[in-house]
């Protein structure tokens, strides 16, 4: 140890609250490690470059190392050095030469300046991770900062508390959405403050969105292999700090900018949902760097192979898997979630590779510890919980397998809807189920239609525009010879790959975008719109923009064709239709709704009809809505995914007439009355909506 570093003696303190907690007079430090032999707290000067003191935590209670330092106030920078066995084959990777990030750090200062010293072993040795490295990683590692969450003033904040049936999700990215927005001051673009700026909030509010779902905003580093190629981790699915906002999105107000953003959305009646990554960390596999968890207690924090603890179970595809079966690791996740709800006022979470969180040693278990704890928590059980119900482990595909109270990304909706509008054969039965909320998947155990999060496009894959403009992915800019990203996109370019001046091709593409959007917002379930799809944003055929912190991934706001504005107006109309008409946002499978399917001849759809063609008619009726002013009690939707016109015989009504509300063939046409048994010429590749008048 440097002779200039002071040695300070700490008081015993408390083990009850993990992290660095200021009590008004000093700070209590507590960190979990079941296998450490000694823990040193390192204090740094305000620059973070000079270690000024080293404190050995004096007490060890219930596997918690802890100590109290009087006079240590918010703003103090710190890190940990943890002593213990370096025995990779038995799962232990302690190395006190590595400065470690506190798992409970609420703010990090600086970025990882990648260096060989970050590795706990000699990377040039033949045995690699079985060796021991003595270089100090502190100069290249961000420092933790003590903060006082109790100082946050939320007195005027009012949570929107949007009901699930009324929810409309909008998946977006803090920087990607704000970086090129001319309505945001240049110094705020790409920041939390830019995301919370009036120009952003007003746009999203005017669109009709109720809940913004932000891609990862927990602290994460850029991967070295990406930096070597001049790229960056844009998406952020590589967490290293589960309590700390990503400082790369800080504006002039720093961490306060995040809270100001949340308050701005709340003032507009919009919820903030965070996409969170608790399934793995940025430390990678056995050859990855030692940044935090790996050096604090590798064997507890990660799942290792039962017969060789040197290696990690890799159900995530990222090198490691967080061990949610360990009670202290599970506690960390719960404490993190509660922190973001209680102290940062977010309204819910979308869990990346959520199956991992329900995975016990024997496999996925919807009655596993994570689900049990979160269901019983009086704080977390009341916020929105959305699972990405798959991982790459055994039995990892769990669409419909999450417990009651959860919503799930429903990729069956995405895939079936894409196939149907592409005109694939034999898709009508599945399309019908997806349109009605996927009751074949979610109508059990008291789950509701909103459990199905319906989406056409998300951050991972083609945008809506590219879905109808490209047959193949075009990911060359990612530097992986176009080998990354999905190959099964269920897309179609209608005659030209990418942008074209062919008016016929462009016309059918615009119509298909309207078909997808209309299907999304008129389906039962919870709609999720990818930011920019409302006006046809393109990523130029790149379906894996994870490393593109560039104009490929940033939302373009200027120089757009008129068709983009028309599509945005169409989307706004659809959202308003959904918001004002309860028949489109079903709350309960047992609400008495009448559901009737018809064929183009006007008769009821019989079993043999379902595989004969995919042109469909759907009547929805709610007798309990009759007589309510401005509320529709009956709607008729017609679907034709083929390129030819179909004469559709309109089924009769007991009273009244069918009035055309919308057709994707020409959104300007509406108000046409259709008599009973009259044919309606349903244009090719179009959807029509009628209401009873």
Q: What is the pLDDT of residue 101?
A: 98
Contact 77, 86 (CB under 8 A): no
Write the DSSP assignment of 168-191 as a string of letters.
Answer: -EEEE-HHHHHTT-TTS-GGGTTS
For residue 665, what is the DSSP state?
Answer: T
As a whole number, the mean pLDDT across the chain is 96
CA distance 531 to 93: 42
Residue 676: the pLDDT is: 67
Neighbours of 485 (CB within 10 A): 20
Tell me the HSE value of 426 on the side-chain side, using a 13 A CA sphere.
Answer: 0
Query: What is the arithmetic mean of pLDDT over 327-340?
Result: 98
* Residue 346 to residue 228: CA distance in whole angstroms: 35
- pLDDT category at 7 given cuts 50, 70, 90 is confident
Residues 6+ apart with CB under 8 A from 226: 232, 233, 547
Residue 651, pLDDT > 70, answer yes
What tens digit of pLDDT does each residue of 206-233 get? Answer: 999 999 999 999 999 999 999 999 999 9
Question: What pLDDT shows up at residue 674?
Answer: 86
How does residue 602 score in pLDDT terms, banded at 50, 70 and 90?
confident
pLDDT given at position 65: 98
Class of domain 592-692: mainly beta
Q: Domain residues of the chain, as ranges?
A: 6-151, 165-274+347-354+402-583, 592-692
Residues 6 or more apart whose Cβ sits within 8 Å of residue 91: 298, 299, 304, 309, 310
CATH 1.10.10.60 fits 6-151, yes or no: no
Q: What is the pLDDT of residue 295?
A: 98
Task: Report the alpha-carbon distance of residue 637 to residue 624 in Å, rounded.
Answer: 20
Query: How is residue 572 written in tokens?
Result: 């706004």
Residue 360 is a catalytic residue: no
How does residue 652 score in pLDDT terms, banded at 50, 70 and 90?
A: confident
Q: What is the pLDDT of residue 465?
A: 98
Q: What percent of the chain has pLDDT over 90?
A: 92
For residue 209, the model assigns a pLDDT of 98
Per-residue pLDDT reduced to its tens digit, 405-447: 999 999 999 999 999 999 999 999 999 999 999 999 999 999 9
Residues 6+ apart with CB under 8 A from 217: 174, 192, 236, 245, 246, 249, 258, 274
d(CA 412, CA 434): 8
Convert the pLDDT of each residue in 158-213 to its tens digit: 999 999 999 999 999 999 999 999 999 999 999 999 999 999 999 999 999 999 99
How many of the other CB atoms lie within 10 Å of CB of 196? 26
Write down the pLDDT at residue 653.
83
The CATH number for 165-274+347-354+402-583, chosen from 3.20.20.80, 3.40.50.1820, 3.40.50.261, 3.40.1280.10, is 3.20.20.80
pLDDT at 128: 83
Same fold, 165-274+347-354+402-583 and 592-692: no
pLDDT tens figures, 32-71: 999 999 999 999 999 999 999 999 999 999 999 999 999 9
Active site residue: 107, 171, 275, 352, which one?
A: 352
pLDDT, residue 125, reads 85
Q: How far apart are CA 87 and CA 304, in angstroms?
A: 13
| 254-312 tens-digit pLDDT | 999 999 999 999 999 999 999 999 999 999 999 999 999 999 999 999 999 999 999 99
Q: Identify which has the larger pLDDT, 9 or 495.
A: 495
* Mean pLDDT computed over 514-542: 98
Average pLDDT over residues 461-466: 98
**Predicted local confidence at residue 1, as pLDDT:** 62
- Identify the active-site residue in 40, 283, 388, 510: 388
388 in catalytic set? yes
pLDDT computed for residue 608 by the predictor: 86
């Amino acid at each position: 140890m440097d002779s200039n570093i002071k040695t300070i003696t700490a008081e015993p303190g408390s083990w009850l609250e993990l992290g660095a907690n200021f009590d008004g007079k000093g700070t209590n430090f507590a960190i979990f490690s079941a296998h450490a032999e000694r823990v040193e707290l390192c204090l740094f000067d305000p620059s973070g470059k000079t270690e000024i003191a080293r404190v050995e935590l004096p007490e060890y209670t219930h596997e918690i190392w802890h100590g109290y330092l009087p006079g240590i106030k918010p703003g103090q920078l710190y890190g940990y050095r943890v002593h213990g066995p370096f025995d990779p084959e038995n799962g232990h990777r302690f190395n006190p030469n590595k400065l470690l990030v506190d798992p409970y750090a609420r703010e990090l200062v600086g970025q990882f300046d990648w260096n060989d010293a970050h590795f706990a072993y000699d990377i040039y040795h033949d045995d690699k991770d079985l060796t021991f490295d003595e270089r100090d990683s502190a100069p290249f590692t961000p420092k933790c900062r003590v903060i006082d969450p109790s100082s946050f003033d939320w007195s005027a904040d009012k949570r929107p508390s949007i009901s699930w049936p009324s929810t409309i999700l909008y998946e977006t990215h803090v920087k990607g959405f704000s970086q090129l927005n001319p309505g945001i001051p240049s110094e705020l673009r790409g920041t939390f403050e830019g995301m919370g700026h009036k120009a952003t909030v007003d746009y999203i509010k005017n669109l009709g969105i109720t809940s913004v779902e932000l891609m990862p905003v927990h602290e994460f580093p850029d991967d070295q292999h990406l930096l070597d190629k001049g790229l960056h981790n844009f998406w952020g699915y590589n967490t290293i700090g589960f309590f700390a906002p990503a400082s790369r999105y800080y504006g002039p107000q720093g961490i306060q900018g995040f809270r100001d953003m949340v308050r701005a959305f709340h003032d507009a009646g919009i919820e903030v949902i965070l996409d969170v990554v608790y399934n793995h960390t940025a430390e990678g596999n056995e050859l990855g760097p030692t940044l935090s968890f790996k050096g604090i207690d590798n064997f507890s924090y990660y799942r290792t192979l039962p017969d060789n603890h040197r290696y990690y179970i890799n159900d995530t595809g990222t090198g490691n898997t967080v061990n949610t079966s360990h009670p202290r690791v599970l506690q960390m996740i719960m404490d993190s979630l509660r922190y973001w709800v209680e102290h940062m006022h977010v309204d819910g979470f979308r869990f990346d590779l959520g199956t991992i969180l329900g995975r016990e040693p024997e496999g996925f278990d919807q009655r596993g510890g994570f689900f049990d704890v979160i269901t019983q928590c009086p704080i977390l059980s009341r916020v929105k919980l959305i699972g990405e119900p798959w991982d790459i482990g055994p039995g990892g595909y769990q669409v419909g397998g999450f417990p009651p109270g959860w919503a799930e990304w429903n990729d069956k909706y995405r895939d079936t809807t894409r196939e149907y509008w592409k005109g694939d054969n034999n898709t009508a039965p599945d399309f019908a189920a997806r349109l009605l909320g996927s009751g074949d998947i979610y109508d059990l155990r008291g789950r509701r239609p909103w459990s199905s999060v319906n989406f056409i496009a998300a951050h991972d894959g083609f945008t809506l525009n590219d879905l109808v403009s490209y047959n193949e992915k075009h990911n060359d800019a990612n530097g992986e010879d176009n080998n990354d990203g999905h190959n099964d996109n269920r897309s179609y370019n209608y005659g030209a790959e990418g942008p074209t001046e062919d008016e016929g091709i462009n016309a059918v593409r615009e119509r298909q975008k309207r078909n997808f959007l209309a299907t999304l917002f008129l389906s039962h379930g919870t709609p999720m719109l990818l930011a920019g799809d409302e006006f046809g944003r393109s990523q130029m055929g790149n379906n894996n923009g994870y490393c593109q912190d560039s104009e490929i991934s940033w939302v373009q706001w200027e120089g757009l064709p008129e068709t983009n504005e028309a599509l945005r107006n169409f989307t706004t109309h659809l959202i308003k239709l959904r918001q004002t008409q309860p028949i489109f946002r079903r709350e309960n499978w047992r609400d008495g709704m009448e559901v009737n399917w018809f064929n183009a001849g006007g008769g009821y759809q019989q079993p043999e009809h379902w595989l004969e063609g995919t042109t469909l008619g759907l009547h929805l009726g709610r007798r309990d809505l009759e007589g309510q002013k401005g509320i529709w009690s009956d709607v008729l939707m017609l679907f034709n995914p083929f390129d030819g016109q179909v004469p559709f015989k309109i089924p009769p009504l007991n009273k009244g007439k069918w009035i055309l509300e919308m057709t994707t063939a020409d959104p300007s046409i509406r108000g046409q009355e259709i008599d009973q048994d009259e044919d309606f010429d349903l244009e090719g590749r179009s959807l029509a909506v009628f209401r009873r008048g």
